[in-house]
Amino acid sequence: MKHIIYLVAAALTIAAIATSCCKNNENTQNTQNNNAADQTFSTIMNRKSVRSYTSDTIPAEMMDKMLHAAVAAPSGMDVRPWHIVVMTDKSQYDTLFAGNFNMDKFKQAGAVVIFCADTTVTRPPRENPDAPAVTKPNLTWRDDMGAATENFLLAAEALGLGAVWTACYPYGDRMDPIAKFLNLPGNVVPYSVVPVGFPAGDEQPKDKWDAGRIHYNRW
Ligand SMILES: Cc1cc2nc3c(=O)[nH]c(=O)nc-3n(C[C@H](O)[C@H](O)[C@H](O)COP(=O)(O)O)c2cc1C
């Protein structure tokens, strides 16, 4: 009888330890998830346009991370229309910004990243995936490029860098010199130009919350 009581007690102890371990693991997991969510939220809320930079070079690993973030963006039908040109040769910045950019501010940028879009898509027709590929206009490239540009900006913020989205498309006076300078094919347009570097100033994020802009269930 004694033995049975010992055995039951031992089994209950093991079960209690196992449950507590699981709970601890669950709690650790929850804490990690919460921390990751907090970090993501804080990166999004802290992002701001940064237009002045120190002359420091951007480490290659940082650029690599930002580029990976950019191309992780969603795109219509997963077409991924982006081609990204990373300029680090400051002697070329003037030529690059020959259009109507307010270039002086960006002269120190460690890099200027030009997000270009292939405005066409070459695929078999949707209704007949086995047919030969055809080239058609890509109707969502603008949206896709916006998502990629924003991902890049968020990655810059997460890394402690500063960047600003400067419009290229749809302004012909900005697009033309860049398309010429980069010798872009006719179906590729320069969409956005993002100077990036280590922040020299103290730009702060803006509070843009306006409850009046949020509508639930109806306008
Ligand atoms: C499509 C687009 C085009 C922009 N073009 C320029 C630009 O040409 N030059 C510039 O200095 N900032 C430009 N900006 C940055 C905006 O001025 C900036 O996002 C806005 O003032 C809000 O400030 P924040 O980015 O600090 O939140 C552009 C932003 C977007 C989204």
pLDDT tens readout for residues 40-91: 999 999 999 999 999 999 999 999 999 999 999 999 999 999 999 999 999 9
Tell whether pTM > 0.85: yes
Q: Which atom of ligand 1 is nearest to the CA of 48?
A: 26
Ligand 1 site residues (CB inside 6 A) read 48-49, 51, 164-167, 206
Type and span of the H or E element at 47: none
Task: Fill in the DSSP letter of residue 131.
Answer: S
pLDDT (0 to 100) of residue 23: 61
Residue whose CA lies nearest to ligand 1 atom number 3: 167
Tokens of 184: 């872009």
With beta carbons less than 8 A apart as the criterion, state whether 192 and 145 touch.
Answer: yes
Tokens of 134: 């055809």
Q: Which atom of ligand 1 is nearest to the CA of 51?
A: 11
- The mean pLDDT of 26-34, rounded to a whole number, is 76
Fold of 60-197: NADH Oxidase (3.40.109)
CA of 125 to the centre of ligand 1 (A): 37
Between 21 and 94, the more confident residue is 94
For tokens 């078999």, name the residue.
124
pLDDT (0 to 100) of residue 28: 72
- The mean pLDDT of 155-181, rounded to a whole number, is 96
- What confidence tier does 125 reach under pLDDT thresholds 50, 70, 90? confident
- pLDDT above 90 covers what percent of the chain? 76
Of 31-40, 78-87, 203-212, the least confident: 31-40
Q: Whole-angstrom Cα distance, residue 178 to residue 169? A: 11
CA of 161 to the centre of ligand 1 (A): 16
Alpha helix stretches (DSSP H) within the chain: 2-46, 60-71, 93-96, 141-158, 172-182
Distances (CA, A) of 38 to 26, 43, 44, 190, 219: 18, 9, 10, 34, 30
